[in-house]
Structure 1
Amino acid sequence: MKKRTNTYKLNLELLETVKPVTTVYEPIEFEFDNHDNIFDIIALMKARDMFKTPQQSVEFAIGLKLFSEVMLKNSDNVLFEEFRPAFSDFMKKLKGK
């Protein structure tokens, strides 16, 4: 059976803090699956120019895809119960732009 998701790797590293910290945070690197091509979505969001900077378009696209995929994979979680209808409306509005 053919795989129906794309696999990505994300690396998160703290570069600078607003306030001094004594904790040393190790970078977090993880792989995740998503049913969409996130690079295509990033390009689309940049082209739509909906935010103040192209970088914000990238941040939005990645954050949205990470969040929405977790929500899809946990559709029976009561945490999302009340939020799901509003999220569905939000996605329709976003895709309609």
Structure 2
Amino acid sequence: MKRNNTYKLKVEEVALKDETLKPSKSLEFQFENHDNVFEVLRAIENKNLFNDSNQDKEFAIGVKLFSEVLIKNRNHDIFKEFVPHFKDFMQKMKAY
């Protein structure tokens, strides 16, 4: 049985603050996550955390991308001091 869900994310430049530049870049990649990202997204949108559907989506996707990298690399020096705080954050977010 597969242990992770697999997703594809695509990011495209739509408008740039430097209007002399023409949006032209895009990025597409696959990632795995132990949670169902769409269920997490639905839960956050139902809570209406930020009173803004786009911000709810940004938050949900950002947290899930970040948390999976953190879980896979929790012993990396960059995360050592942060892991306990992130656990507290996740518990608070889930209880909210």
Does TM, normalized by the shorter one, top 0.5? yes
Determine the structure 2 residue equivalent to 1:73.
72
Which amino acid is 1:7 matched to?
T
Determine the structure 2 residue equivalent to 1:88.
87
Deviations 1:37-89 (A, max 9, x none): 00001000000011030111111000000000000111110100111111111
- Give structure 2 stretches of 5+ with no counterpart: none
CA distance in 2, matches of 1:69, 1:31: 13
TM-score using structure 1 length: 0.91
CA distance in 2, matches of 1:94, 1:44: 11
Determine the structure 2 residue equivalent to 1:16.
15
Runs of 4+ in 1 over 6 A off after TM superposition: none
Deviations 1:5-46 (A, max 9, x none): 000000010000111355865310000000000000100000
CA distance in 2, matches of 1:24, 1:60: 24
Please give the secondary structure, in 2, of the residue aligned with 1:9. strand
How many matched pairs? 96
RMSD between aligned residues: 1.4
- Give structure 1 stretches of 5+ with no counterpart: none
CA distance in 2, matches of 1:7, 1:24: 28
TM-score using structure 2 length: 0.92
